[in-house]
């Protein structure tokens, strides 16, 4: 079943109003001035990574493709724009037939990126491309920030699985996108059923403190859960006294108890004590899951602890302190007329505040050493050097308005793991530092 085609409640029927007012007023002025049909090239990039980050992660590309396809101005949307007098009648008439008919190139989802990397390139008329700016940035900035945090956390966790459980800490629709981005970044499962339904991400969960508090005793709560879910369930053991709860849990479920979850206290100390107690009680195969406001630093600090899995919420869905990727969508080339054969002229913003951009339609490639380890991100506007011809990063995603293909999320997830593994070892260090690869312009 392809749930992306079902029109689920976590989707919206049209993405056309996920945009800023000035996109439409620019369109109106361009239509009036005769420049709306000029062939144009827009690129998405970031001028810098969040402080301390060594690499970025491209995430949300699949959602961008959905958004472009669903960018339609139906009768209700047009009625709203007319009532609010956002644009004139001529522009409304143009919008009524809007369908993106251009091309989109981009880094494959899951790939890593660096300052200046042209992670997405949108080509078409100025009119049809400029309207997509806000929704594209909204998706890529959010999802890439979550995926980058998830990548750092999964690197810190090593072989131990991570559970995404941040739905209650963000907007209900953002929670679904965050689950998807976390999976791209290396998480194994989610607590969010909407994400499981929409994207096929494995979902997990057993009980909260409320279930224990509902019962007259902790033993009664454990009995009820084990009777319903079986001895392989995960019992929450920190509602009252952890040591007593672990003892009761093994007595109720037996030594084949699946796992215990610890959600408070000094996790390093408590995990060691719980592991020792479980082993003494004969529950040597019972796993320990820890939660409680974890981030990549807390996960790294537990590397030597007898922990089998981590559950992460708040810090993940907020990008672990960096909830945006600071990506921008800039016009980098345009034709001098509406003639489809008119040559493209590079254009770029000039600013003394650091908000500069590099003009021209760009390609990107990654230089590697003899061992296959990445050395530099190379970005250019001219011919691609022969030695980089088979290292190019941009792939065609949309042609003449038609999405060329959609990838299973597991393919994207595996791609990210490979891309991260091909970076220098310092990429996964949690200490503050510069991007692990320099960006070279040629």
Please count the other Cβ atoms lying within 10 Å of the Cβ belonging to residue 384.
Answer: 16
Domain identity same for 307 and 207: yes
Domain identity same for 351 and 298: no
Domain identity same for 80 and 179: no
Confidence of residue 2 (pLDDT cuts 50, 70, 90): very low
Domain identity same for 60 and 126: yes
Domain identity same for 251 and 371: no
Q: Which parts of 317-416 are beta strand (E)?
A: 327-335, 344-346, 363-368, 374-380, 395-399, 402-403
Q: What is the pLDDT of residue 8?
A: 46
The CATH number assigned to the domain holding 424 equals: 3.20.140.10
Q: Is the pLDDT of residue 4 over 60?
A: no
Task: Tell me if 104 is assigned to some domain.
Answer: yes
Domain identity same for 265 and 378: no
Confidence of residue 23 (pLDDT cuts 50, 70, 90): very high
Confidence of residue 3 (pLDDT cuts 50, 70, 90): very low
| CA-wise closest residue to 317 among 157, 186, 175 | 175
Task: Tell me if 413 is assigned to some domain.
Answer: yes
> Is pTM, for the whole model, over 0.85?
yes
Domain identity same for 180 and 302: yes
Domain identity same for 275 and 371: no
Query: Among positive and negative, which fits the CA dihedral 211, 216, 222, 227?
Result: negative
Q: Which residues contact 395 (CB under 8 A, 6 or more apart)?
A: 105, 106, 107, 108
Domain count, the chain: 2
Task: Tell me if 143 is assigned to some domain.
Answer: no
> DSSP letters along 305-321, please?
S---EEEE-HHHHTGGG
pLDDT in tens, 68-107: 999 999 999 999 999 999 999 999 999 999 999 999 999 9
How many Å apart are CA 83 and CA 326, to the nearest integer?
34
Q: What is the pLDDT of residue 309?
A: 98
Please count the other Cβ atoms lying within 10 Å of the Cβ belonging to residue 82.
Answer: 13
Q: Is the pLDDT of residue 7 over 50?
A: no
Confidence of residue 353 (pLDDT cuts 50, 70, 90): low
Structural domain ending residue among the three candidates 278, 296, 320: 320
Question: What domain range is 368 assigned to?
Answer: 3-131+326-441
| Radius of gyration of the chain measured on its C-alpha atoms | 25
How many Å apart are CA 270 and CA 241, to the nearest integer?
11
The CATH number assigned to the domain holding 164 equals: 3.20.20.70
Calculate mean pLDDT across residues 318-324: 96
Task: Tell me if 151 is assigned to some domain.
Answer: no
How many Å apart are CA 384 and CA 366, to the nearest integer?
12
Task: Tell me if 136 is assigned to some domain.
Answer: no
Domain identity same for 222 and 335: no
How many Å apart are CA 250 and CA 231, to the nearest integer?
9
Q: What is the pLDDT of residue 1?
A: 41
Structural domain ending residue among the three candidates 320, 339, 368: 320
Task: Tell me if 137 is assigned to some domain.
Answer: no
Task: Tell me if 147 is assigned to some domain.
Answer: no
Residue positions counted in the chain:
442
Task: Tell me if 366 is assigned to some domain.
Answer: yes
Confidence of residue 431 (pLDDT cuts 50, 70, 90): confident
Q: Is the pLDDT of residue 324 over 60?
A: yes
Domain identity same for 106 and 234: no
Domain identity same for 341 and 269: no
Confidence of residue 168 (pLDDT cuts 50, 70, 90): very high
Structural domain ending residue among the three candidates 320, 338, 367: 320
Mean residue pLDDT across the chain: 95
Q: What is the pLDDT of residue 432?
A: 83
* Residue bearing the bigger pLDDT, 351 or 138: 138
Domain identity same for 307 and 332: no
How many Å apart are CA 204 and CA 201, to the nearest integer?
10
| CA-wise closest residue to 168 among 285, 353, 314, 293 | 314
Q: What is the pLDDT of residue 11?
A: 53
* Parallel, antiparallel or unpaired: strands 259-262 and 234-236: parallel
Q: Is the pLDDT of residue 243 over 90?
A: yes
Confidence of residue 6 (pLDDT cuts 50, 70, 90): very low
């Amino acid at each position: 079943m392809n749930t992306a085609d079902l029109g689920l409640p976590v989707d919206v029927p049209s993405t056309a109003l996920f945009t800023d007012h000035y996109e439409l007023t620019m369109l109106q002025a361009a239509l009036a001035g005769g420049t709306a049909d000029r062939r144009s090239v827009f690129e998405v990039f970031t001028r810098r990574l969040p402080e301390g980050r060594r690499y970025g992660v491209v995430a949300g590309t699949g959602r961008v493709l959905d958004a472009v396809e669903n960018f339609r101005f139906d009768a209700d949307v047009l009625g709203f724009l007319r009532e609010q007098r956002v644009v004139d009648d001529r522009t409304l008439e143009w919008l009524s037939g809007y369908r993106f008919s251009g091309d989109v190139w981009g880094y494959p989802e899951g790939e890593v990126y660096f300052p200046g990397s042209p992670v997405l390139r949108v080509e078409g008329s100025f009119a049809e491309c400029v309207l997509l700016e806000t929704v594209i940035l909204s998706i890529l900035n959010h999802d890439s920030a979550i995926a980058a945090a998830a990548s750092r956390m999964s690197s810190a966790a090593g072989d131990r699985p991570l559970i995404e459980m941040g739905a209650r800490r963000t907007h209900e629709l953002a929670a679904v996108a965050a689950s998807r981005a976390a999976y791209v970044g290396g998480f194994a499962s989610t607590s969010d059923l909407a994400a499981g339904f929409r994207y096929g991400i494995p979902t997990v969960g057993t009980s909260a403190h409320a279930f224990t508090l509902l019962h007259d005793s902790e033993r009664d709560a454990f009995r009820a859960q084990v009777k319903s879910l079986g001895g392989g369930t995960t019992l929450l053991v920190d509602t009252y006294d952890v040591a007593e709860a672990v003892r009761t849990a093994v007595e109720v479920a037996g030594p084949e108890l699946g796992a215990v979850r610890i959600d408070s206290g000094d996790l390093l100390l408590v995990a060691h004590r719980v592991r020792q107690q479980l082993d003494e009680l004969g529950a040597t195969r019972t796993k320990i899951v820890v939660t409680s406001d974890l981030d990549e630093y807390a996960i790294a600090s537990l590397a030597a602890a007898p922990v089998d899995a981590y559950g992460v919420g708040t810090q993940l869905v907020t990008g672990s302190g960096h909830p945006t990727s600071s990506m921008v969508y800039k016009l980098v080339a345009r034709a001098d007329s509406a003639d489809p054969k008119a040559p493209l002229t590079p254009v770029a913003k000039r600013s003394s505040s650091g908000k500069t951009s590099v003009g021209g339609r760009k390609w990107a490639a990654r230089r590697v050493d003899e061992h296959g380890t990445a050395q530099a991100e190379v970005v250019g506007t001219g011919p691609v050097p022969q030695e980089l011809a088979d290292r190019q990063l941009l792939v065609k995603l949309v042609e003449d308005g038609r999405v060329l293909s959609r990838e299973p999320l597991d393919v994207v997830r595996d791609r990210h793991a490979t891309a991260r593994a091909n970076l220098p070892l310092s990429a996964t260090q949690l200490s503050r530092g510069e991007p692990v690869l320099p960006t070279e312009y040629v």
